[in-house]
Structure 1
Amino acid sequence: MSNVVKIRKGNRILNVEESRLSSFLNQGYDQIDDNGTIVKRATGGRNVTVAELNEVIEAKELLEEQLANSDSAELLKENKALKTKVTKLERELEELKKPTDSNASGK
Structure 2
Amino acid sequence: MKTVKIKKKNRILHVETSRLASFLNQGYDQIDEDGKVIKLATGGRTVSLPEHNKVIEELEALTAELETLRADGSGAELEKANEDIKALKAKVKKLEDAAKSDTTK
* TM-score for the superposition, normalised by structure 2: 0.69
**1:24 counterpart residue number:** 23
| Distance 1:14-1:78 versus aligned 2 partners, 3 A rule | same
**1:56 counterpart residue number:** 55
Give the drift of 1:28: 0.9
Determine what percentage of the aligned residue pairs are the same residue: 52
Aligned residues: 99
Matched, 1:78 2:77: no
Q: For residue 78 of structure 1, what is the amino acid of its counterpart? A: A
**2:13 counterpart residue number:** 14
**1:34 counterpart residue number:** 33
Structure 2 unaligned blocks of 5 or more: 99-105
Q: For residue 81 of structure 2, what is the amino acid of its counterpart? A: E
**Partner SS state of residue 31, structure 1:** strand
**C-alpha distance in 1 between matches for 2:77 and 2:49:** 38
Structure 1 unaligned blocks of 5 or more: 97-107
